[in-house]
Amino acid sequence: AQKVTQAQTEISVVEKEDVTLDCVYETRDTTYYLFWYKQPPSGELVFLIRRNSFDEQNEISGRYSWNFQKSTSSFNFTITASQVVDSAVYFCALSEARSGGGADGLTFGKGTHLIIQP
Amino acid sequence: EAGVTQFPSHSVIEKGQTVTLRCDPISGHDNLYWYRRVMGKEIKFLLHFVKESKQDESGMPNNRFLAERTGGTYSTLKVQPAELEDSGVYFCASSPIGLGGQREQFFGPGTRLTVL
């Protein structure tokens, strides 16, 4: 069975601080996909990143960066120089590869509520 | 291009009544998913359509829930009869079929269901 754990329920930092959101996953598959989604106060889920299990290269997109480490089954998300607009609930998710390359439902963590104070 | 849309945005019903939620995926997306988030819990997968066929319905809680996707376009999720524990936010998501394995899923804004 697959599982995603986001141990941080809520994080509060002051604007311009760096913050890291932790994500630890469990899966028996060797091929799987990891995702991060952002849920702002408006409620919709916004896709941030997808990473497959064969690509351990870290990724940077502006102030966002992701650190994927298979050895520790972690896929952590760092926001550099945080801004008030980054305030949201962030979800980490996992899907296992389906034979034939098909798609699968996502297993989500419980989410981390990030509060950026001005 | 329009995103995933869901209707209604909110629904308040009494226990025992029937409610039907609708999802319109992004045009051309053959994969359609339903998820639910009950208050304080994680977002849980309910089922997955590929075009009009149910690919995986392992997450459906019980037979009070019925999902359909007529013609492989929009989908409906009916709850009959609704119970108190069905309250939550129901999300729909869609993704294209293509090379490269699991593609990112695009989510709708959700339907907040309250059963009194």
Q: What is the pLDDT along chain B (116 residues), one digit of tens a residue?
A: 689 999 999 999 999 999 999 999 999 999 999 999 998 788 999 999 999 999 999 999 999 999 999 888 999 999 999 999 999 999 999 998 866 567 789 999 999 999 99
Whether residues B95 and A91 touch (CB distance < 8 A) is answered with no
Tokens 């604007």 — which residue?
A15
The Cα A108–Cα B9 span in angstroms is: 22
Calpha distance A116→A114 (Å, rounded): 7
Identify which of A43, A91, A109 has the shortest CB distance to residue B109. Answer: A43
How far is it, in rounded angstroms, from Cα A44 to Cα A25?
23
Q: Using an 8 Å Cβ cutoff, are A109 and A6 in contact?
A: yes
Q: Which of A104, A107, A113 to mutate to probe the B interface, most B CBs <10 Å?
A: A104
Q: List the beta strands (DSSP E) in A53-109.
A: 59-61, 64-69, 74-79, 88-96, 107-108
> Which residues in chain B are contacts of A2 at CB distance < 8 A?
none
Is the Cβ pair B35, A106 closer than 8 Å?
yes
> Are B104 and A50 within 8 A, CB to CB?
yes
The whole-number pLDDT of residue A71 equals: 92
- C-alpha torsion A86→B109→B85→A22, nearest 10: -30
pLDDT at B112: 96
Nearest to B79 by CA among B88, B70, B67: B67
Interatomic CA distance for residues A31 and B89, integer angstroms: 30
**How would you write the pLDDT of chain A (118 residues) with one tens digit per residue?**
789 999 999 999 999 999 999 999 999 988 899 999 999 998 889 999 999 898 888 888 899 999 999 999 999 999 999 999 999 999 999 998 765 556 688 999 999 999 999 9
Give me the pLDDT at residue A102, please. Answer: 60
Q: Do A37 and B107 touch (CB under 8 A)?
A: yes
- The sign of the torsion formed by the CA atoms of A50, A38, A19, A3 equals negative
